Structure formats: C-alpha cells, structure tokens
C-alpha cells in the first residue's frame, strides 16, 4: 500500500449537476491545505463559511469548510471537507487546487481503507460501506447498515472468541503429553465445540440468505405463442416494456427489465413464443428463447388454459431439467377456468390483463429465490465471507471428529487454529495487501 503519511484528496459526491459538491481531504497536510485555500484556520467540527482561492489568490468557489481533527474523523486522520457548488467545473477546480498544494488524488476506496488501517472499521464493516452505497433495494440497504453497525462482525467475533477459549483448553492439553488426552479434553470442551458449530452453521445460513439478496435473480418467462408472456412482463414491471398483440409471434427479441419485487432485485426476461416456425426471424427468436432457459434462476412457464398447463409441461420437458426452479403460470383466468391439477410443478393462476393473482406469483418467485418471510436476521454477506465461514465449518467438523477419536488432539488443535484464522479473515484481523487491494479497488473514488 502507498505511504499512509501522505495527504489524499477526492471529490466525495457523485459526478454531474448538483447543488453542492464535497471535496474531501485526509492526512497530515490537510489542515495546512485548507487554511491556504480558505485563508482561515478551521476549528474542529465548526462549519465555517469561506471563499476558496487558488495559490494566486483567484476565487474558485465559495462554500463551507469543515475540519475533523484526528482521531475523530472517518479515516482516523485529520480530515477536511470543502463544501462547494456542484457541477462539472467548480469541484474539479477546487480538487486541483488542493492537489497543487500537496495533496495526492485518492485511489478508489482509499479513505475507507485508511479508516480500516486506523482501526475505525473492521473489514466486514468497510465492505458494508460499499454495499450500502450500491444497494438497489430498501432491504439491501437496511441489511448493509446492520453490517456497517458491526452486527455481522460481532457475530463473527463472538464465534472467534469461543474458538479461542476452546483452543486454549485443547492446546493446553498438549503440554501434558503424559496425561490421557481424553481426560484433559473433557466432555465440556466437546460440548462448547458443538455449540460453536451450531452457531457457525446458523451464521452461515443467515449469510447465505443475505447473499441471495445481493445479486439480481433472473426470472425468464417462456411459453407457447400468444399466451400472455409480454403482458406478464409489463404487468410485473409496471411499465409498458414489451409489445402486446393478439397475433402470435409478436415478440422475437429477448427483452429484459430490471426491477425490485418487494425488496428482491430481479431481472425479468420476456422471450419469443416457442413453436415450430419457418420464419427465419422467428426461428432465431425461438433459438434465443430456449437459450435463455439456461441462464435462468427461475423459469416461469406460462400457459393460457387448463389443458395448456399439462400439454405445455410435456411440450417443454425436453428443455427443462428436473432440478430447475420452475413455476407454471396459468394466465388469462379472467376468461374463466378453475384450478388445474398439473402434477408436481408449482402452479399460480393469474390474469396479466386484470392483475389478479399477481401477489401470489410474486410470493412464489420470492419463495423460489429462497426468500420467504422477511429475513430480519439475514446478513448481506459477500461470497468471500461465506467461503471463510464454510472453511471454518469444515475445520471445526474435522477437529470435532479428531477430538472424539482418541489421540488426535494435536491435529484437532491445528484444525481449530485454522478455523480461527478463517474467521479472522472476515473481519480483517488476518489480511493481506492483495485482499485489501481487491476489496477497496472496487469502491468509488472519494469513499
């Protein structure tokens, strides 16, 4: 990592037109730079009005200067924020002036990286900062905020503490090689170990649920021509996205729409109606539609009649795997027709025209995505966290087995140490420069 002792600067607000923009400066020189820019000696935590001038004394902008004295700042270093006007020019001129006075342009995520290195945040919290910024649904934002507050880290740390206590006992028994290890590593250690395993599994489960909320779920609508696939896309998305016509073969392209379904980020995909056709454009549409099935997390197979439900299931069986997340949808119920018995698949009865049954379909999609009731306890975990938790779980299972079987206390101790290290990687207690680089380079500049 670059020298921690230099002073970094960046525009912290989003680019584009806006009322105000903030240039953030962090590091030992920031107070000197701020007083040269403003001609004032900023007092900590006092918003002061100021003219911002370059080194020749020309006015660049005017606004507020705010000083956060180390260590009571975001990065833990001296930080100055210059609040000026937004837009394409003013913030850039101000940033350039700060750089001319000795600051260096910050790398993406460098402010948060410094906060981590100064112990203001742990690694999981730092990641939550980026997750909060990138949240596309209110639920994701709420979950990111829980992690930012340290709730996820607290769970991980409490598991790590429990593991440490177990390690002390197990490793302690290694110091008495003459004693029967079974007597030293007694039943109470095993009990604590099993309890820790149970808690780790729970945390893993909560993290997996959260991970499902992180990426958009791809919902692909397929069916025979004219059954109402495009009408369903329009109804789900609430916008007139795809052309709807009473002539079969209307849709030929794959049409995608990103939306939030009660907090679940989904990508709905409408496709061409599938049937035998000689029309070259339509056959290309059919080919693309069938291809879409492979990219789907959830397939909605739409039919428009009772008999259609059974016939379509058979017709599409060649393209549908048994382990696929399939929801059969019976559309056009406003035209009459009762509940059909279609065997195994989940079937939802709707009318894309009137909107009847749509809440049920929405529930079915959420259930298929693995999100049922509101997951108040889920954590917006990253795959890196899940991998570390899984790794820890593997080591713990192994260590538990070894402790139960005689004489393998040393191997068990090693396994427990590995599990402990895996947990430490989540919060960054154990970290490498590469890992930090990978995490922070994905942040936006100014954060």
**Among residues 73, 207, 305, 331, which is the contact residue for ligand GTP, using CB under 6 A?**
331
- Does the footprint of ligand GTP cover residue 257 (CB under 6 A)? no
Q: Count CA atoms closer than 13 A to 298's CA, side-chain side.
A: 26
Distance CA 71, CA 446 (A): 19
Distance CA 260, CA 138 (A): 9
- Are the CB atoms for 221 and 269 separated by under 8 Å? yes
Query: How many residues appear in the chain?
Result: 447
Q: 260-279 mask for ligand GTP (x: CB under 6 A)?
A: ------------xx------
Provide the minimum distance between the beta carbon of 295 and ligand GTP in the complex, in angstroms, as a whole number.
Answer: 19
Q: Which does 225 bind (CB under 5 to 8 A by kind): Mg ion, ligand GTP, none?
A: ligand GTP
In 331-395, beta strands by DSSP E:
346-349
- Are the CB atoms for 46 and 69 separated by under 8 Å? no
- Does the footprint of ligand GTP cover residue 227 (CB under 6 A)? yes
Burial readout 64-94 (b: 16 or more C-beta within 10 A, e: otherwise): bbbbbebeebbbbbbbbbbbbbbbeebbeeb
Q: In angstroms, how far is CA 25 from the centroid of its own chain?
A: 28
**Considering CB under 6 A, how many residues would be counted as binding ligand GTP?**
24
Q: Which does 335 bind (CB under 5 to 8 A by kind): ligand GTP, Mg ion, none?
A: ligand GTP
The one-character DSSP state at 152 is: H
Closest CB to Mg ion among residues 305, 331: 331
Cα→Cα distances 332→88, 164, 227, 289, 348, Å:
51, 61, 8, 22, 11
Measured from each CB, the residue nearest to ligand GTP is: 273
- Does the footprint of ligand GTP cover residue 353 (CB under 6 A)? yes
Residues 373-392 that bind ligand GTP (CB under 6 A): none
Provide the minimum distance between the beta carbon of 276 and ligand GTP in the complex, in angstroms, as a whole number.
Answer: 14
Provide the minimum distance between the beta carbon of 229 and Mg ion in the complex, in angstroms, as a whole number.
Answer: 5
Q: 82-121 mask for ligand GTP (x: CB under 6 A)?
A: ----------------------------------------
Provide the minimum distance between the beta carbon of 414 and Mg ion in the complex, in angstroms, as a whole number.
Answer: 60
Closest CB to ligand GTP among residues 332, 382: 332
- Does the footprint of ligand GTP cover residue 206 (CB under 6 A)? no
Provide the minimum distance between the beta carbon of 235 and ligand GTP in the complex, in angstroms, as a whole number.
Answer: 8
What token pair was written down for 232? Answer: 């369903």
Closest CB to Mg ion among residues 102, 225: 225
Q: 239-278 mask for Mg ion (x: CB under 5 A)?
A: -----------xx---------------------------
Closest to 253 (Cα-Cα) out of 236, 219, 229, 278: 229
DSSP codes joined into one string, 185-204: S-HHHHHHHHHHHHHHHHHH
Distance CA 379, CA 423 (A): 15
| 3-class state of residue 167 by DSSP | helix
Provide the minimum distance between the beta carbon of 271 and Mg ion in the complex, in angstroms, as a whole number.
Answer: 8
Burial readout 232-244 (b: 16 or more C-beta within 10 A, e: otherwise): bbbbbbeeebbeb
**Among residues 97, 244, 269, 369, which is the contact residue for ligand GTP, using CB under 6 A?**
244
Provide the minimum distance between the beta carbon of 98 and ligand GTP in the complex, in angstroms, as a whole number.
Answer: 56
**Among residues 2, 41, 186, 335, which is the contact residue for ligand GTP, using CB under 6 A?**
335
Q: Which does 305 bind (CB under 5 to 8 A by kind): Mg ion, ligand GTP, none?
A: none
Q: Give the footprint of Mg ion on this chain (CB under 5 A).
A: 229-230, 250-251
């Amino acid at each position: 990592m670059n020298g921690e002792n230099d002073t970094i600067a960046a525009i912290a607000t989003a680019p584009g037109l806006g009322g105000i923009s903030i240039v953030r400066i962090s590091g030992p020189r920031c107070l000197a730079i701020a007083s040269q820019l403003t001609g004032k000696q900023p007092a900590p935590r006092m918003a002061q009005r100021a003219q911002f001038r370059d080194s020749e004394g020309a006015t660049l902008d005017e606004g507020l200067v705010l000083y956060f004295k180390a260590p009571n700042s975001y990065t833990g270093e001296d930080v100055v924020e210059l609040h000026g006007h937004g837009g394409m020019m003013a913030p850039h001129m101000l940033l350039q002036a700060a750089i001319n006075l000795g600051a260096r342009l910050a790398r993406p995520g460098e402010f948060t990286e410094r906060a981590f290195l100064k112990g203001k945040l742990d690694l999981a919290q730092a990641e939550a900062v980026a997750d909060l910024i990138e949240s596309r649904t209110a639920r994701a934002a709420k979950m990111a905020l829980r992690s930012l507050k340290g709730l996820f880290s607290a769970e991980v740390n409490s598991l790590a503490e429990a593991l440490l206590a177990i390690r002390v006992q197990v490793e302690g028994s290694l110091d008495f090689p003459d004693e029967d290890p079974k007597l030293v590593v007694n039943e109470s250690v095993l009990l604590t170990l099993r309890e820790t395993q149970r808690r780790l599994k729970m945390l893993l489960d909560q993290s997996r649920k959260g991970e499902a909320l992180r990426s958009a779920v791809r919902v692909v609508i397929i069916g025979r021509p004219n059954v109402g696939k495009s009408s369903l896309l329009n109804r789900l998305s609430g916008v007139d996205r795809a052309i709807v016509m009473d002539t079969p073969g209307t849709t030929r392209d794959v049409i995608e729409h990103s939306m939030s379904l009660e907090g679940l980020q989904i990508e709905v995909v409408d496709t061409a109606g599938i049937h035998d056709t000689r029309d070259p454009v339509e056959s290309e549409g059919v080919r693309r539609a069938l291809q879409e099935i492979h990219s789907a997390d959830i397939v909605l197979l739409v039919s428009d009649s009772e008999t259609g439900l059974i016939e379509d299931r058979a017709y599409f069986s060649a393209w549908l795997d048994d382990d696929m997340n399939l929801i059969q949808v019976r559309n056009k119920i406003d035209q009459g027709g009762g509940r059909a018995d279609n065997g195994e698949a989940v079937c939802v009865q709707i009318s894309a025209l009137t909107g009847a049954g749509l809440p049920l379909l929405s529930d079915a999609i959420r259930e298929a995505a693995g999100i049922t009731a509101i997951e108040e306890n889920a954590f917006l975990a990253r795959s890196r966290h899940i991998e570390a938790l899984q790794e820890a779980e593997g080591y713990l299972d192994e260590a538990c087995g070894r402790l139960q079987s005689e004489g393998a206390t040393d191997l068990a101790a090693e396994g427990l140490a590995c599990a402990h290290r895996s947990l430490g990687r989540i919060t960054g207690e154990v970290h490498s420069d590469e890992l930090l680089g990978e995490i922070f380079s994905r942040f936006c500049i100014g954060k």
